[in-house]
Amino acid sequence: MGQLESIQIFIKVVETGSITKASDQLGLAKSAISKRLSELEQQLGVKLINRTTRKSSITEAGQIYYQKSKLISEELDELNSEIASVQTHLVGTLKIAVPLSFGIEHLVPALDEFSKLHPDLKLDVDFSDRKVDLVQDGFDLAFRIGQLADSTLKAKAITPISHVLCASPDYLDEYGIPETPEDLKKHKFLRYSQMPLSGLQLVGENQQKFMAQIDVVHSANNGEFLKAMALSGHGFTHLPKFIIWKELQNGTLKQILTPYTPAPQNAYIVYPETRYLPQKSRALIDFLTDYFGDSPYWE
């Protein structure tokens, strides 16, 4: 390894916050990483990182060196990308994080098609509703739905996501069909765990907003569970159409309060803020944008 490789190891240690995490992501022994850092510091004549057995902290000189090194690394990546973009043969590994329900039903067919187009590109997919740290966990991309709060990431809107209020015909026969947002407080609600506890925000005509009071009977962090409970008549729920589109089509779930829709959202691909986006990441973003489009099939 030369100095450039040592710089890239140094960058990874800074961004992950520890030699252990850098070791996992780079596939190098911790002792090898420590040795390369020591050689780099000896060559520069300054301490870049204070290291203990538990954690690492960057020095003032290390912070300056990191900022400059990052620019150099990105310039090199951009140069490599320009050369690679002359041809479309993608290699290496693309590590992505996707939500469980959306990922299994909708992204699997898309990734299958994408993989056939790029057979030498390996996919490492994490199916989970947890919010991963892209840098520390070593992800290239993450698929997220809803409001984006992390300003340190860049995002590309992939497709619109609409939500509906729905219940089973048996539940509506027993408890009645609500006609206004105020009627919802008389009904049993199946709540997605990440929803605000203050109530359910709806948007009516002329973009007028309503905060409906709700009586929560069950909560879960998984839409498939909430759908199953709604199908069994336990209450009404608020879910994205991509989870319940088949049930809405076959009538086993009925949409309620159609004039009062939940606020629209989008599905995004997010990636670390950098001047350079790897060709393999850009290829998947462009593919998914075209695959789902502005009017996805579940709508």
Q: What are phi and psi of 285, to 5 degrees?
A: -60, -45
Whether residue 257 sits in one domain with residue 269: no
For residues 148 and 282, membership in a common domain is answered with: yes
Question: Is 115 a member of any domain?
Answer: yes
Q: Cα–Cα distance between 210 and 192 in angstroms, integer?
A: 19
Domain boundary among 53, 84, 115: 84
Mean pLDDT of 85-100: 81
- Indicate if the pLDDT at residue 46 is higher than 70: yes
Detail the DSSP E strand segments found in the chain: 49-51, 56-58, 92-98, 121-127, 141-145, 153-161, 163-167, 188-192, 200-203, 209-212, 215-220, 236-240, 254-256, 261-262, 265-272
Indicate whether 60 pLDDT > 70: yes
Other C-beta atoms within 10 Å of 125: how many? 15
State the maximum Cα–Cα separation within the chain, in Å, rounded to a whole number: 78
Share of the chain above pLDDT 90, in %: 40
- Residue 298 within a domain: no
For residue 174 the two structure tokens come to: 């027993």
Task: Give me the sheet containing 209-212, strands edge to edge.
Answer: 209-212, 200-203, 261-262
Map 73-91 to HEC letters. HHHHHHHHHHHHCCCCCCC
Environment class of 299 (CB within 10 Å of its CB; exposed 0-12, middle 13-18, buried 19+) = middle
Instruction: Report pLDDT digits (tens) over 165-206.
Output: 999 999 999 999 999 888 988 899 999 887 777 678 788 777
CB neighbourhood size of 162 (10 A): 15
Q: Does residue 283 form part of some domain?
A: yes
Residue type for position 37: L
- 188 plus 234 within the same structural domain: yes
- Which pLDDT score, from 0 to 100, does residue 226 have? 95
Same domain, 115 and 148: yes
Q: How far apart are CA 281 and CA 272, in angstroms?
A: 11
85 vs 90, higher pLDDT: 90
pLDDT-based confidence at residue 48 (cuts at 50, 70, 90):
confident
Residues 101, 69 within the same domain: no
**pLDDT score at 150:** 62
Residue 86: pLDDT over 60: no
Domain-embedded: residue 299:
no
Q: Is residue 269 part of a domain?
A: yes
More confident residue, 225 or 208: 225
Where does 235-299 have alpha helices with state H? Answer: 241-250, 279-292
Number of domains in the chain: 3
Indicate if 153 and 269 belong to the same structural domain: yes
Out of 27-36, 102-111, 248-257, pick the least confident. Answer: 27-36
Domain limits at 112?
A: 92-161+265-292
- Quick: pLDDT tens for 255-281: 999 888 877 789 999 998 776 788 899
| pLDDT, tens digit (0-9, with 9 covering 90-100), for 109-153 | 999 999 999 999 999 999 988 888 888 888 999 999 877 776 678
pLDDT 10s digits, 280-290: 999 999 999 99
pLDDT category of residue 82 using cuts at 50, 70 and 90:
low
Tell me the pLDDT band of 36, cut-offs 50, 70 and 90.
Answer: confident
Residue 123 lies in a domain: yes
Q: Would you state the pLDDT for residue 275?
A: 63
- Answer yes or no: is 100 within a domain: yes
Domain finish residue from 66, 84, 102: 84
185 shares its domain with 256: yes
